[in-house]
A and B are shown apart, each in its own frame.
Chain A
Amino acid sequence: MAILEAINPTLTAGWHQPDALDLKKDTGWHLKDYEARGGYEALKKLFGDKLTQDQVIAEVKASVLRGRGGAGFPTGLKWSFMPKNYSGDKYIVCNTDEGEPGTFKDRDFIRLDPHSVIEGMIIAGFAMGATRGYNYIHGEVYELYQRFEEAIEEARAAGYLGKNILGAGFDFDLFAHQGWGAYICGEETALLESIEGKKGQPRYKPPFPANVGLYGRPTTINNTESLASIPYIIRKGGQAFLDLGKPNNGGTKLFSVSGHVNKPGNYEVPMGTPFAKLLEMCGGMRGGRKLKAVIPGGSSAPVLPGDIMMECTLDYDSIAKAGSMLGSGAVIVMDETACMVKSLERLAWFYYEESCGQCTPCREGTGWLYKMIHRIEHGQGRPEDLDLLDDVAKNIMGRTICALGDAAALPVISFVKHFRSEFEYHIQNKKCLVPPDVQRAGSTFHTRLMAGATC
């Protein structure tokens, strides 16, 4: 599903909505359409006004654009870490390794507006003196990888990429790199290893990629949506972008809503929009059922009970105050038909499966977590398991090279904290608090199956 609805559409303005799933149809993603909606004007303005590298970075800092991949680190500040007087290649890498469960926004940038990402990367390249960029696109959307390559060719043919771009004396070229099924490559240093043709195992930091990155050269890695936000910032100014959102949380953002809502999909709203408003845009809860829990920022973000979430606004500060993270803006909504033990069991399996195996606490710990949750779900849990789960999770946190360890631990700690009685019920009664037929009723597929499809 493409973008469904927006308040103050900024990033998604002009995206054609019908037939977005049909890759054979022209849905307005080509260069001519992008130019018709103001595309590449930011690049022309940059060269026309003879902006300096420092001015571009200052504009991005003023926008308070925070990294849209999940960490929320200020993009302008990140750009300023790149060494200025460096002789040799520097790189810009776009992270489209979108595999955080719940997140599906970057897919729509590549599918419906690939040139916004390309323009953002060229501007980033100029600002940091990089001559080459790579966009790492996860393998599961290989058809969109091919579309992105087509968009690169269009940009190259039009003189936006290559030598002496728009006659301004700036050289920058861009290529797509394909992933092939590894969640860990969304971690920026694992992604660099992967581009180098190796296993995607994260590197120690420091040194940070700004100093020692791709092929040992200074490199900045940004999320797709972050880079796609750059043209607007240069065209309209950093302040205008900041004003779209709220202080310390600039701009609008895409929220990927999945789970038990009537209309799952992507929604663009200003930062600071109440969660209740987003839920309303999604057509409310499926079947009018009661909101039970929300994972507000992708599966690695701590789960929040529905009543706490209903009080939150969608920005980094509000959700952090409530005890979770805005993350990538992946809002996973669960109603009363969801079993929290089974839900956590599936997430725990995911982290166990995707741990790269490099650090012992993560490699072994994710397996222990999964096995314990599995036995609780299957009626073999022990009363002491809940404290043990908490203990193992807290012993993974902070003891691994990358954030996957923390990402595996946070859901466990938060699920047990907020829904402890459900876990206890499982252990004591060897069955779920939510009866199986109620759980099945929550699945759209099952409802449709019962409606008359043959099996």
Chain B
Amino acid sequence: MLSEATLKRIDREVAKYPAEQKQSAVMAALHFAQTEKGWLSRDLIGYIAQYLGMPEMAAYEVATFYNMYDLKPVGKYKITVCTNLPCALSGGVHAADYLKQKLGIDFNETTPDGKFTLKEGECMGACGDAPVMLVNNVHMRCFMTPEEIDKLLGECN
């Protein structure tokens, strides 16, 4: 169900923990699976659970508890904008409004061409760099003025 490369990444995580604690790698494993497949289906979560020798329900609990797992398909580029108070004081909300206008979608929506999904995020620990955005969960973009947002959207092909 997953590529050799992804399984290798998961195995590397498993090796960090005591032999009887493979479940500790579930967060990383779900992340890597999501990266490969785009989102986490029930089958995929079940596969990860089996791979790590843990109950499927326990893996599902993790997938539903942590915000950055996608349990439904998302666009090729998922952009998460922090609108929490420190960011909002420096334009976080306006940056989100600008993106909504540019993409023609609201939070939790995907553009009709399946290219962009917009999400509202909570604190990313980078408040001094507001407005702050995460692209596909892992790439943080800082000081997102209108010019920078235009640049970012231009880079997304």
Q: Which residues of A contact B (CB under 8 A)?
A: 1, 21, 89, 98-104, 106-107, 134, 138-143, 175-183, 194-200, 215, 256-260, 264-266, 299, 330, 332-334, 338, 343, 346-347, 350, 353-354, 356, 440, 442-446, 448-449, 453-455
Contacts and interface: CB of A to CB of B under 8 A. Distances in A.
A446 B94 contact: yes
Contacts of B127: 101-104, 256, 258, 264, 330, 332
Contacts of B122: 99, 101, 181, 183, 350, 353-354
B58 interface: yes
Given A183-B123, A256-B127, A453-B147, A139 B68 contact: yes
A200 B62 CA distance: 8
Contacts of B138: 142-143
Closest 3 CB pairs of A and B: A445-B91, A181-B67, A197-B23
Interface in B68-113: 68-69, 83-95, 98, 101-102
9 contacts: A21-B142, A101-B127, A104-B128, A139-B137, A181-B122, A299-B123, A332-B127, A445-B91, A455-B101
Nearest to A199: B65
B45 interface: no
A332 B89 contact: yes
A180 B86 contact: no
B61 A199 contact: yes
A259 B24 contact: no
A134 B28 CA distance: 14
Contact of A445 (B26, B27, B86, B131): B131
B134 A140 contact: yes
A260 B127 CA distance: 12
B84 A350 contact: yes
B84 A196 contact: no
Given A103-B127, A142-B138, 14 more contacts: A104-B125, A106-B125, A142-B137, A177-B24, A180-B67, A196-B24, A197-B26, A197-B62, A258-B86, A264-B130, A299-B85, A332-B86, A347-B84, A350-B123
Interface in B141-156: 142, 144-147
A332 B85 contact: yes
A443 B90 contact: yes
B66 A182 contact: yes
A404 to B, nearest CB: 13
A176 B69 CA distance: 19
B25 interface: yes
B85 A449 contact: no
A258 B89 contact: yes
Contact of A198 (B30, B58, B129, B139): B58
B51 to A, nearest CB: 12
A89 B21 CA distance: 14
Nearest to A260: B89
A182 B30 CA distance: 15
B68 A180 contact: yes
Contacts of B65: 182, 199-200, 356
Contacts of B83: 346
Contacts of A445: 90-92, 94-95, 98, 131, 144-146
B2 interface: no
A197 B54 contact: yes
Nearest to B28: A178
A376 to B, nearest CB: 17
Contacts of A100: 123
Contact of B145 (A138, A346, A453): A453
Given A101-B127, A143-B140, A256-B127, A449 B94 contact: yes
Contacts of A266: 128
A448 B146 CA distance: 8
B126 A104 contact: yes
A445 B129 CA distance: 12
A83 B154 CA distance: 57
Contact of B128 (A178, A199, A257): A257
B85 A444 contact: no
